Structure 1
Amino acid sequence: MRGTGKGREDAALDDYALVRVPEHARCSWLSVAVQRFGQVSSFQQFLVGAVLGFGMSFTDAVIAITVGSVMLEVVTILLGIAGVREGVSVSVLARWSGFGRKGSALVGLLIALSLAGWFGVQNGVFARGMHDLAGGTPEWAWALIGGAVITVITVFGFTMMAWTAYLTVPAFLFLAGYSIIDTLAGHSLADLMAAPPPGPPLSLAEGTTLVSGAFILGAIMTPDMTRFNRRPADVVKQTLISVTLGEYLIGLTAVLLAQAARSVDIVGIITSSSGLLGTLVLATAILKINDWNLYSSSLGLVNSVDVLFGRRISRRGVTWVIGAAGTALSAVGIVDNFTDFLETIGVLAPPVAGIIIAEYYVVRQFRPGLDRARAAGTMPPPTADWMPLSLVCWAFGSAVGKYLDAGIPAINSVLAALLLYIAAGKALMARKARMARRAPGADVLPPAETDLTRSGG
């Protein structure tokens, strides 16, 4: 990255929120992988696994987790490789991956609002667990304490979050393992695996949607993390390890816990059976995921403000604001809307991944400019404000995910947006090439102003 010493220093303090992460700021594979594993093996997976275990047999839960995990791994790897190659956050990448400048602001707003909600959900779970253990202190007070701690960590950025993960991930695995053994003591694993679900049945499609919907935002925000990686191979390794182990180890354990306790209240199961130990599990599990919810939310909002208002605002300042808002949401009980929130994200978020993947890897309209800028260590030239095709594909993918009864909504949504963008994008680029050949003396529009991208204004 080029620029004045002061500019480079400001960009580093802001974790390169709007520019490429330079090579000297890239990190070891372990420092990124441990944070990715912390995301996937979070308490959120416990919550999803408990819902599956309460409404599905063990075998059906395994199938749901497998199908959902495969879809997540493909999306995560493809977006992650784009992130490590370009060195920018996903909302900034969206400018040159099908959405245009103002379209990327919509992506940033979706990520910011959604992950601020997840921040509130996770913080609310923490507050409820601490209140159940301590008694007198109200939930809202614990929500304020938990939100404040995570906000302070996130303000200091990627390096502080890496050190937090080094401490909390091993602690979580040790404490969770001990707590799970204690909770399942006296139960036959064979009987639990063969038992019918204790609650109202969930279909395979509903279960898979919960799995993929629970982490689809984590998959979409992958470039926010992998821009600090050094090579694409790092992305593949950390994704295969973290998603596979996280989804199966944590998710299937929660399935067994829900069936053993015949309850979907995973917080109550762990804290009541293990007391202080269970509460420590709760605290470490939420801490190692919620900082990333807040971090990516701040990156998305920084991009949106830059695009919509032409102002470069501090990621640290935005983190304080979103942290306060998310903490307030948790204090007023957003956690009670957990399932509805998952279903909403499962419809709106997946098409974004499909469009970015389709443009970056297949249509490739902006890849020449990205490649030249990457070689020069600069940012690519600006694109058009709006790209109508991406908006149409986004709406189409969301509609398919919501209204198509067959299949798995989240996967349907990704594929619908991806395939429509590829088909229409290739057709429009071919049409432009034919027009250029027929009129060799005519002015040819630059890549950012082709029929595919023209905003119409």
Structure 2
Amino acid sequence: MTTLNNPDSSRSVETSLAAAAEDHALVSVPAVDRRSGFQLALSPVSVATALVIFAIAGFTVTLAGFVWGLVAGVAVGVLGFALGNLLGNMAYRTGLSGTVTSRFFGFGQRGSAVGSVVFAVMILGFLAVESALLYEGTLLMFEWEDTWATKIGVYGVLTLLWIALAIFGIKLALRAGAAMIVVTLLVTAYMIVQIYVVDGASVSAVFGFDGVVPGGGWTKFETAVSVIGATAGTIALVTADFARYARTDKDVTVLAAAGPLVQNVVMIVLGSLVVIGGMPEVVEYLMARDAGLTPEAAAAAGSGLVMGNTGAFFVIFAGWAGFVTIYAAQAKAQAINAYSGSLALVNLVDSLFGKKPGRAVMVVVGNVIALLMIAAGILDEFNTYLSYLGAMTLAMAGVMIADYYVVRRGSVDGSHRIEKWNWAGVTTLVVAAAVGIWLMEAEIVTLGFLVSLVVAVVGYPLLRSVLPEGTGTGFVAEAEALDEAL
């Protein structure tokens, strides 16, 4: 009997073209569309060089200092690579997106709707935050007032741009990804030269920066991980979405390493050099713009720019070049965010209602949801959002990994027999995420999202033994399951 997917199997031209029309949203990626790990790595690296990651990196070091921020970045990067490699190999074997793969491993067909909600909240949240950061940078660049007319105009243009890129320009965005990454790094390098060569800032002072959080090494490490740790789950799930295009398991490894390395190590270093080294000049800039600001107020405002208006650093140090760069950098990342979010929404609708909506429609819906998140003030609550998101994404990843590698022992044999609801998986996800969020909300455990991961990995196999396959549910017809998977 045919299993989920054989990357080397042939498919008819007609089937391949039909799948390509919807970017294989609900079907397995055929061999003809498979790519090398280095080609695929451009996608997570594009996401990892976005403004929001720059903000997280800079904020991490501001709080914990350079040394402990970098140590935390390496630790989280290793975790992100491990999770991404495990999930990526699952997606490579099935040829399906992460949310569709969760139908087979972890949640069942209708149960995968829960995973789709988690993924959609994650990716559309980043879509919203990065649009909000661009908006703030645009206000600074043109010295515009924050009015409803400005909001409608700027957010309207941005939304239309993301929709167009995700529907018509995703291939262009991916192809231009390498060039945009290079431009972003070159402009960042220019900023670093401006700060340290022209303005005379001290590199050693940055590397020796101790952070604003008092206490010893563990306190600083814990603080840094509490900020950057949740990104391990996000980059792992993004990796899984693109790993379905991999040719071999080695390509998956390359793909899984690229995002965490750039996101958690390279961006920590670059963010430190720009944010910490450039802060004195940012304070001077703010005082020059507003003569009424005291040095203390300007310093507080400068610190607020790290997470609230990261693009300001590019505008202040690189002018028009920096402004254009943040838009170019965001365009590639936002195209991927809108694209991945649409995949999650497609699976959500299909798994619950048996309808197969066009991905283009879901791109529009996803952008509308992002606008609602912006209106709800997601940028102001970004730290809380990250922590709670980490509990959900790591719980989701933990259930899928435990099902595939522990319960099924790394085999896809028989996985065409899909439960409508895998109650053990759905229950574990909800409980694990709730435990982590409660621990953080009650200030019992700062790193509650890591507890969610442990609860999911350990708890799922135990609960699955009590609620074996078929408990309290039926199965999707075998022919239907195979048609959807292959």
Which interval holds the TM-score relative to the shorter structure? 0.7 to 0.9
Question: 2:268 & 2:10 partners in 1: Cα distance?
Answer: 45
Of the three residues 30, 35, 40, the one matched with 1:27 is 35
Corresponding residue of 1:163: 175
Task: Give, as a single letter, the amino acid of the residue that structure 2 aligns with 1:133.
Answer: M
Question: 1:193 & 1:56 partners in 2: Cα distance?
Answer: 12
Question: 2:433 & 2:376 partners in 1: Cα distance?
Answer: 29
- CA distance 1:62–1:3, shift in 2 (3 Å): closer
Task: Give, as a single letter, the amino acid of the residue that structure 2 aligns with 1:369.
Answer: G
Q: Determine if contact 2:388/2:449 at 8 Å carries over to the other structure.
A: no
Task: Give, as a single letter, the amino acid of the residue that structure 2 aligns with 1:420.
Answer: G
Matched, 1:98 2:106: yes
- CA distance 1:246–1:217, shift in 2 (3 Å): closer
- CA distance 1:282–1:111, shift in 2 (3 Å): same
- CA distance 1:409–1:68, shift in 2 (3 Å): farther
Corresponding residue of 2:245: 228
Q: In the TM superposition, what whole-angstrom CA distance separates every residue of 1:4-56 from its partner, at most 9, and x where no partner exists?
A: 86654332110010010011111233331111211222222211112112211
Question: 1:215 & 1:282 partners in 2: Cα distance?
Answer: 24
Q: After superposition, where does 1:286-365 map in structure 2 within 5 Å?
A: 286-327=330-371, 329-330=373-374, 333-364=377-408
Question: 2:151 & 2:343 partners in 1: Cα distance?
Answer: 29
Q: Determine if contact 2:391/2:453 at 8 Å carries over to the other structure.
A: no
- CA distance 1:144–1:332, shift in 2 (3 Å): farther
- CA distance 1:45–1:279, shift in 2 (3 Å): same
Q: After superposition, where does 1:21-170 map in structure 2 within 5 Å?
A: 21-136=29-144, 138-156=150-168, 158-170=170-182
Corresponding residue of 2:461: 422
Corresponding residue of 1:439: none
Task: Give, as a single letter, the amino acid of the residue that structure 1 aligns with 2:348.
Answer: S
- The SS at the match of 1:169 is helix
- CA distance 1:234–1:399, shift in 2 (3 Å): same
Q: Determine if contact 2:235/2:259 at 8 Å carries over to the other structure.
A: no
Question: 2:214 & 2:328 partners in 1: Cα distance?
Answer: 31
Q: Determine if contact 1:50/1:264 at 8 Å carries over to the other structure.
A: no
Task: Give, as a single letter, the amino acid of the residue that structure 2 aligns with 1:210.
Answer: V
Question: 1:264 & 1:255 partners in 2: Cα distance?
Answer: 15
Q: Determine if contact 1:14/1:315 at 8 Å carries over to the other structure.
A: yes
Q: Determine if contact 1:143/1:330 at 8 Å carries over to the other structure.
A: no
Question: 2:124 & 2:34 partners in 1: Cα distance?
Answer: 26
Aligned residue pair count: 425
Q: In the TM superposition, what whole-angstrom CA distance separates every residue of 1:247-287 from its partner, at most 9, and x where no partner exists?
A: 21112221343333162523223322222122133223322
Q: In the TM superposition, what whole-angstrom CA distance separates every residue of 1:414-438 from its partner, at most 9, and x where no partner exists?
A: 122011113343x45xxxxxxxxxx
- CA distance 1:215–1:181, shift in 2 (3 Å): farther
> What is the RMSD of the two structures over their aligned residues, measured on CA atoms?
2.6
- CA distance 1:228–1:47, shift in 2 (3 Å): same
Of the three residues 367, 374, 381, the one matched with 2:412 is 367
Relative to the length of structure 1, the TM-score reads 0.85
Question: 1:21 & 1:357 partners in 2: Cα distance?
Answer: 21
Q: Determine if contact 2:70/2:269 at 8 Å carries over to the other structure.
A: yes
Corresponding residue of 2:260: 243
Task: Give, as a single letter, the amino acid of the residue that structure 2 aligns with 1:19.
Answer: V
Relative to the length of structure 2, the TM-score reads 0.80
Q: In the TM superposition, what whole-angstrom CA distance separates every residue of 1:334-389 from its partner, at most 9, and x where no partner exists?
A: 3222222212202222110001111111211872124xxxxxxxxx24x2221221
- CA distance 1:253–1:26, shift in 2 (3 Å): same
- Alignment gaps of 5+ in structure 1: 371-379, 429-449
Q: Determine if contact 1:347/1:413 at 8 Å carries over to the other structure.
A: yes
Task: Give, as a single letter, the amino acid of the residue that structure 1 aligns with 2:174.
Answer: A
Matched, 1:398 2:443: no
Corresponding residue of 1:16: 24
- The SS at the match of 1:101 is coil
Corresponding residue of 1:194: 208
- Alignment gaps of 5+ in structure 2: 1-8, 280-298, 475-486
Question: 2:236 & 2:100 partners in 1: Cα distance?
Answer: 16
Q: After superposition, where does 1:250-265 map in structure 2 within 5 Å?
A: 250-260=267-277, 261=279, 263-265=303-305
Q: Determine if contact 1:76/1:219 at 8 Å carries over to the other structure.
A: yes
- The SS at the match of 1:419 is helix
Between stretches 232-241 and 102-111, larger displacement belongs to: 232-241
Cα shift at 1:82: 1.1
Matched, 1:409 2:448: yes
Q: Determine if contact 1:157/1:295 at 8 Å carries over to the other structure.
A: no
- CA distance 1:242–1:221, shift in 2 (3 Å): closer
Question: 2:121 & 2:109 partners in 1: Cα distance?
Answer: 19
Corresponding residue of 1:178: 190
Question: 2:174 & 2:222 partners in 1: Cα distance?
Answer: 35
Cα shift at 1:194: 1.8
Q: Determine if contact 2:128/2:371 at 8 Å carries over to the other structure.
A: yes
Q: Determine if contact 2:100/2:347 at 8 Å carries over to the other structure.
A: yes
Q: Determine if contact 1:165/1:288 at 8 Å carries over to the other structure.
A: yes
Q: Determine if contact 1:258/1:264 at 8 Å carries over to the other structure.
A: no
